[in-house]
């Protein structure tokens, strides 16, 4: 367990110290399993987590650094390790033309001033990334929170909820996106 604790701290320290190198990257450890009783030193610990980046080169560099950290810590404390990597979702990168199409449609459906541009992409894990990787696409979030009604918990929270009054607008937005796209591209 002590080796695992050193590893977790070392990776987070590496991310903080080498942030410029790993800009637009995040590593989150969300599971740690080990031990069977309070008074028995465990002989094995399993740590699970995710690594999200905008490009495969950064992901490979992070995997290499994690392996180096594991090697150094286990050598220091006399342990061993196995580092298993599983490919996760690709980075979700929007096509600029499709993003503009979403903006124009949102202005039409919601009125101007209701679109918030993110200064950079999101490192969230999203299945839509597979579609955007194969075809031009753009991803958007539809605001479904309502602080006054206490509907303000983030995604993946056990108390996440939506204000269902946003559903008709979300449906109109999706329908208009398809309609406008087909109108524009059937003429060319």
pLDDT in tens, 18-46: 877 767 888 999 999 999 998 999 999 99
Q: What is the DSSP letter of 89?
A: P
Distances in whole angstroms, Cα of residue 34 to Cα of each of 8, 75, 76: 14, 20, 20
Residue 76 or 121, more confident:
76
pLDDT tier at 12 (50, 70, 90 boundaries)? very high
Strand partners, 46: 33
**Strand residues in 35-85 grouped as ranges (E):** 45-53
Q: Is the pLDDT of residue 132 over 70?
A: yes
Q: What is the mean pLDDT of residues 156-169?
A: 92
Strand partners, 53: 25
pLDDT tier at 133 (50, 70, 90 boundaries)? confident
Q: Is the pLDDT of residue 188 over 70?
A: no
Cβ within 8 Å of residue 75, ≥6 positions away = none
Q: What is the pLDDT of residues 95-107, one digit of tens each?
A: 999 999 999 999 9
pLDDT reported for residue 22: 66
Q: What percent of the chain has pLDDT over 90?
A: 63
Written as one string, the DSSP assignment of 107-141 is HHHH-TT-----SS------THHHHHHHS------
User: Is residue 131 within 8 Å of 120, Cβ to Cβ?
Assistant: no
Backbone angles phi, psi at 20, to 5 degrees: -60, -40
CA 112 to CA 47: how far, in whole Å? Answer: 46
CB atoms within 10 A of CB 73: 20
Domain map of the chain by residue range? 2-77, 96-186
Cβ within 8 Å of residue 168, ≥6 positions away = none
Q: pTM value?
A: 0.68
Nearest to 12 by CA among 79, 22, 92: 22
């Amino acid at each position: 367990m002590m080796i695992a604790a050193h590893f977790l701290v070392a990776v987070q320290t590496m991310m903080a110290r080498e942030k410029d190198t790993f800009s637009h990257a995040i590593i989150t450890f969300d599971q740690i399993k080990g031990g069977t009783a309070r008074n028995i030193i465990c002989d094995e610990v399993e740590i699970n987590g995710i690594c999200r980046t905008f490009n495969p080169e950064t992901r490979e560099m992070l995997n290499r650094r994690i392996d180096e950290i594991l090697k150094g810590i286990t050598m220091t404390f006399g342990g061993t390790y196995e580092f298993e990597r599983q490919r996760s979702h690709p980075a979700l990168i929007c096509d600029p033309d499709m993003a503009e199409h979403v903006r124009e449609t949102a202005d039409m459906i919601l009125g101007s001033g209701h679109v918030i541009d993110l200064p950079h992409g999101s490192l969230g894990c999203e299945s839509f990334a597979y579609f955007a990787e194969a075809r031009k696409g753009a991803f958007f979030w539809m605001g479904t929170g309502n602080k006054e009604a206490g509907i303000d918990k983030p995604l993946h929270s056990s108390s996440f909820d939506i204000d269902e009054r946003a559903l008709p607008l979300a449906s109109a937005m999706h329908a208009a996106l398809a309609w406008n796209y087909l109108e524009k591209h059937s003429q060319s």
